[in-house]
Amino acid sequence: MSREKVSAWLAQPHHHLLTIDAAGYPPMLRQTDGAPFYLFVRGDPGILARPMIAIVGSRNSTVYGREIAFRLGAELAGKGFVVCSGLASGIDTEAHKAAVKVGTPTVAVLGNGLYDVYPPRNRELAEQIVAPGPAQGALISELPLDAGPVASHFPSRNRIISGLSLGVCVVEATMRSGSLITARLALQQNREVFAVPGSVNSNRSRGCHDLLRQGAVLVEAADDILAHIEPLYRGQLDLLSQSQLQLQDARAAQSGSGAGDADACTHGISASDKNPVLNCIGNDPITMDALVLRTGLSVSELSQQLLTLELAGRIEKRGGTWVRHTTCA
């Protein structure tokens, strides 16, 4: 993915790129191990600082599961939570549809780049999610804009869904469902796990029943989630509100600083001058080996930071070396 293509995408309305050190980066996600170094966002990035509950479940869901997912999504949205899910068929789709129906924002974390929507049947729903207005939500992805929906992307996507949320509610899941991966990641991230019981005769309920045996909170309605999570919700609300205010201040400062070269260098993202990698890069080309020696970072860590700085317009790659971007020095 070339910088020119990224810049062209970012130039479109409601398109954003948030780096992990940016004021608008989701505070809940930033606290997690392995948080993405950057997120592409289509829609309202401010929504990412609001308290979320994730609703996930089987793609091949039953009528019962879809009805419960829609009802929970509507109830949670009505109580002020942002519903977070993965825009997949089945349970995810119903959760997003419920929030849209209620007229509240919802966040969809994609397992592909934001050039397209997967599955294709949910393109119209995606447009409804990001439609401008007070209920504008967001589509987000850590993947390059042109990345396709490869199977290996989805477990990694699931850690973002759980990381953004105060808790994860699994509505339907087989014993091999990816939703159980999301639940496991939620536990590792110190998030709450909820599960909806189903028929003992249904294979699609066995994953939920297994979670309940392991201590997940049984959910029949949104009030069950609220009753359990309210102490955590209140504690996090102060943090999230503070982060939201900081984001608003950052937006105000950015809008007051004018456009032109500054906007071309940042595109609404932050690459701090205190970044140790940036401090090692000047007007003279420097190699990867030299940067490894100077920063003490691994090649993998360094590559991620270099990509972040390059996308932010702070540096540019010349062959196998990097130099500081002259207009952003």
3-class secondary-structure state, position 280? coil
- pLDDT tens for the chain, 329 residues long, are 678 889 999 999 999 999 998 888 998 999 999 999 999 999 999 999 899 999 999 999 999 999 999 999 999 998 889 999 999 999 999 999 999 999 999 999 999 999 999 999 999 999 999 999 989 999 999 999 999 999 889 989 999 999 999 999 999 999 999 999 999 999 999 999 999 999 999 999 999 999 999 999 999 999 999 999 887 666 554 544 444 454 445 445 545 544 333 333 333 333 455 677 888 888 888 887 778 777 777 666 677 677 778 767 788 877 678 888 765 55
Domain spanning 271-328 has what CATH number? 1.10.10.10
Please name the residue that has the structure tokens 């009505």.
78
Amino acid letter, residue 40 = F
CB-count exposure of residue 11 (10 Å: 0-12, 13-18, 19+): exposed
Residues in the chain, overall count: 329
DSSP string computed for 25-44: S-HHHHTSTT--SEEEEEE-
- Within 8 A by CB and 6+ apart from 290, the residues are 280
3-class secondary-structure state, position 96? helix
Q: What crossing angle do the helices spanning 91-102 and 63-78 adopt, rounded to 10°?
A: 40
Domain 3-239 has CATH 3.40.50.450: yes
Domain with CATH 3.40.50.450 in the chain: 3-239
